[in-house]
Amino acid sequence: MRSNLVTGILLLVFSVIFWLGADAIPKSRLSGSVGADGLPKMLAITLGVLSIGFIAQTLLTARMAAAVVGRKREAKPMDYTRHLRAVGMIAIGAVYVAIVPYLGYILSIALLLLSVALYNGKRPSSGLLLFSALGSVVFYLLFVRVLDVPLPAGFWPSLMG
């Protein structure tokens, strides 16, 4: 429980640092009602709220465990498989961040959707490929067309001309 509390506090500190970084993004007269700092600030707020919830859950669980009197606790070995799975998800995200400038947003997000689904146990199928393709198009339309967020095009434009 102590490690959960430390993790929650570190994530809360990180969300504050992330907010300050987002707040340092230069303001432009050309930006709309939501500037370039809008999405990062929203992510920082979300991380902060989730961190506070995680801290509260940890403290509540610790309090409930302390209230149980006279129960013997058996020491359980630490199960690292969940941690390793989380490391795998972080690795997938890191690969996505590394390839998006080269492959472009739409192909990279399709590969991200496909790899996350496969990593989490989904079996390869034509439906999964369709999900990845349509999901990437939906995210492209949402971020690039609707929200007007400039995202990397990759090497594709150089092939066209």
Q: What are 33-40's contacts with CB under 8 Å, separation 24+?
A: 34/147, 39/149
Q: Residue 151: CB partners within 8 Å, gap ≥ 6? A: 100, 104, 105, 140, 143, 144
Give the domain-ending residue among 76, 93, 116: 76
Sign of CA dihedral 49, 51, 52, 56: positive
Is the separation of the CB atoms in 44 and 22 below 8 Å? Answer: yes
pLDDT tens readout for residues 48-93: 999 999 899 988 888 887 766 555 556 667 778 888 888 999 999 9
Whole-number pLDDT of residue 13: 93
Q: Does 127 score more than 90 pLDDT?
A: yes
Question: Looking at residue 62, what is its pLDDT?
Answer: 82
Q: Where does residue 105 rank: exposed (0-12), middle (13-18), buried (19+ CB within 10 A)?
A: buried
- Residues 3 and 32 placed together within one structural domain of the fold: yes
Q: Find the domain containing 90 and state its range.
A: 82-156
What is the value of pTM for the model shown? 0.54
Q: What is the pLDDT of residue 75?
A: 61
Residues 34 and 96 in one domain: no
Quick: pLDDT tens for 11-43: 999 999 988 888 887 776 666 666 777 778 888
- Number of domains present in the structure of the chain: 2
- Residue ending a domain, among 76, 96, 125, is 76
Copy the structure tokens of residue 57.
């859950």
End-to-end CA distance of the chain: 58
Cβ neighbours for 66, distance < 8 A, ≥ 6 positions apart: none
In a domain, 132, yes or no: yes
**Domain identity same for 90 and 48:** no
Q: Looking at residue 31, what is its pLDDT?
A: 64
Q: Is-contact 60 13, C-beta < 8 A?
A: no
